[in-house]
Amino acid sequence: MFDYVRRLAATGAAYTASSVISKLFAVALLPVYTRHLTRADYGAAEVLLSTVVALSIFFRLGIIEALLRFYYRFDDRVDRVKVARTSVGFLLLSTTAGALVVAAFAGPLSELLLGHRDTELMLIAVGGLWIFTNYELMMALFRLDERARDYFTASLTNVLLTIALTVWLVVGRDEGAKGLLLGNFGASAIVLAGLFYVHRNLVALVPSGDFLRPMLRFGLPTMPAEISLYALNFIDRIALVHYVGLAEAGLYSLAVKFSQVVTVVVRAFNLAWPPLAYSIRDDDEARRAYSVIVTYYLLVAFTIVLALSLEARWVVRLLAAPAFFDSYKAIPLVSTGVTLYALFLVLSVAVGRVGRTEYNFPVTAAAAGVNLLLNVLLVPSLKLVGAGLALVGAYVVMLALMYAVTQRVFPLPLEWARILRIVGLAGAVFAFGELVLPTSGAVGFLARAALVPLFGALLYASGFLHQGEVRRLRLLVERVRRRSVERSAESPEDLEALRSRADLMDEVHEA
């Protein structure tokens, strides 16, 4: 099982390395952006960026999800190439037709989304729809053969170009929301042109009907599910715009930005998990691997959520203009919601493994309905906090329903005792920090930071680790200590003696 964990961590780290750099730059530039953009400008740009993602899910009709599943059904390289070419050809046709349709209604759509007509801004988003969707597919082609280095190079290039263009347009030319959109989509367009060249042997204008039909049968049921799932990250912004205005939507969007330290982990998991999960051929082995990986993911993710939530006030004070300070209120809720999303991914891959994707939509549609209802009830009075509560509530409902489906079609022996320890102790430590510790000053910051290692200590004291994990942890500590001692050895004879004793200790631990 640990081999799968290491493989997931290695590929996930490679896939998300550029994302980490992107988030670091994005956070570093927030003091600049929040002083050159109004809250309304920031809210408008984020609403349209979210719209692009939602429309992208619709017009790709599940073909990227089908590509990730069908590619591994064939051992023959020729058939795998046909699957990839079919995906590219279909998506080029569907996104071109979709962008033209959306462009025809740019004015009314901008009124619906922003509360006022801004046809130019909407048309920029339409162009971004075509660019973003095809960029996602081209990058997915790298993941099929775990070409992590190529993936990193392309995504890092996109990051650096995006930063340069956005800073020039927002700060240098004072283009506001328009600059944010043009910077994001303009950079991706340049990289997309390069990706078409790199993958030129996989680019086709006409998909193969023999491959497309079964791929759509698999992928189409995932499309409404994906849309309703993404709606959980979209309905809240629309509700904020209509009930309390673009400025509050801007605050909420900034809370989402600050939660990107969690998003980085989730994105790494999201990119690396499906190829790994589908590559495990034996069902019993897959069940065990899925369950262990859920536990380790939650441990890492909730540790990060706890640290970010406890220090949210200090993070916002440091990195945003004073007008954006209240965004800290939604950070714990948004980051928790982001964490829960990856759990749904595990369950949906388990369902997809047995080809029962028709269950996805009823589950995600129910969650979207709950999210809409909670936003209507909570946003008018609680504003961005209400939107965050609605997000978490909807994800909890969705996970409960999807777990029931999974237990019916592909039962997973989740480690509930350990999962409850993670969630319960993280919640208790956060509540203690909020109720007891200072909310400003160096003392408050350091006292809250000390609660994070306390969380780990409480987990250890509660018996969270299995006996085999304790042995592995002790072995790791011993190896670290050994390296430190080896560096201090005064002669080759001393070094050889130290290594002999260390080898003996390794045998004792492994026994």
Alpha-carbon distance of 216 to 230, in angstroms, equals 20
Task: Compute the average pLDDT of residues 380-393.
Answer: 93
In the predicted model, what is the mean pLDDT of the chain? 82
- By residue range, what is the domain housing residue 499? 467-510
Q: Are residues 113 and 216 in the same domain?
A: yes
How far CA 474 is from CA of 191, 239, 468, 470, in Å, comes to 46, 51, 10, 6
Q: Are residues 419 and 497 in the same domain?
A: no
Is residue 121 included in any domain, yes or no? yes
Is residue 456 included in any domain, yes or no? yes
CB atoms within 10 A of CB 54: 15
Kindly report, residue by residue over 423-474, the tens digit of the pLDDT: 999 999 999 999 999 999 999 999 999 999 999 999 989 988 877 766 766 6
pLDDT over 90 (residue 390): yes
Q: Are residues 417 and 372 in the same domain?
A: yes
Q: Which residues contact 132 (CB under 8 A, 6 or more apart)?
A: 52, 53, 56, 185, 188
What is the number of structural domains in the chain? 3
Distance from the Cα of residue 25 to its chain's centroid: 17
Is residue 27 included in any domain, yes or no? no
Is residue 28 included in any domain, yes or no? no
Q: Are residues 377 and 480 in the same domain?
A: no
Is residue 280 included in any domain, yes or no? yes
Alpha-carbon distance of 423 to 396, in angstroms, equals 13
- Residue where a domain terminates, one of 221, 242, 277: 221
Alpha-carbon distance of 182 to 405, in angstroms, equals 42
Q: Which residue has the tokens 């004072």?
A: 174
CB atoms within 10 A of CB 5: 16
Is residue 266 included in any domain, yes or no? yes
Q: Which residues contact 384 (CB under 8 A, 6 or more apart)?
A: 240, 248, 251, 252, 255, 326, 327, 329, 330
Please tell me which residue, 55 or 349, carries the higher pLDDT value.
55
Q: Are residues 271 and 401 in the same domain?
A: yes
Task: Compute the average pLDDT of residues 340-354.
Answer: 80
Nearest CA among 187, 200, 189 for reference residue 84? 200
Provide, for the chain, the percentages of residues in helix, strand and coil under a 3-state DSSP scheme, each rounded to the nearest 5.
90, 0, 10
Q: Are residues 253 and 282 in the same domain?
A: yes
- Residue where a domain terminates, one of 162, 193, 221: 221
Query: So what's the pLDDT on residue 477?
Result: 61
Is residue 227 included in any domain, yes or no? no
Q: Are residues 262 and 344 in the same domain?
A: yes
Q: Are residues 199 and 300 in the same domain?
A: no
Do the beta carbons of residue 221 and residue 195 sit within 8 Å? no
Query: So what's the pLDDT on residue 507?
Result: 45
Q: Are residues 109 and 11 in the same domain?
A: no
Query: So what's the pLDDT on residue 229?
Result: 66
- DSSP symbols for 442-469: HHHHHHHHHHHHHHHHHHHHTT-S-HHH
Is residue 24 included in any domain, yes or no? no
Q: Are residues 69 and 4 in the same domain?
A: no
Q: Which residue has the tokens 């969650």?
A: 367
- Residue where a domain terminates, one of 221, 252, 272: 221
Handedness of CA 396, 397, 400, 403 (dihedral sign): negative
Residue 98 phi, psi (nearest 5) = -65, -40
Residue 476 phi, psi (nearest 5) = -65, -45
Query: So what's the pLDDT on residue 143?
Result: 76
Confidence of residue 385 (pLDDT cuts 50, 70, 90): very high
pLDDT over 90 (residue 105): yes
Q: Are residues 242 and 186 in the same domain?
A: no
Q: Are residues 249 and 182 in the same domain?
A: no
Give the lowest-confidence range in 270-274, 375-379, 460-464. 270-274
Alpha-carbon distance of 360 to 370, in angstroms, equals 16
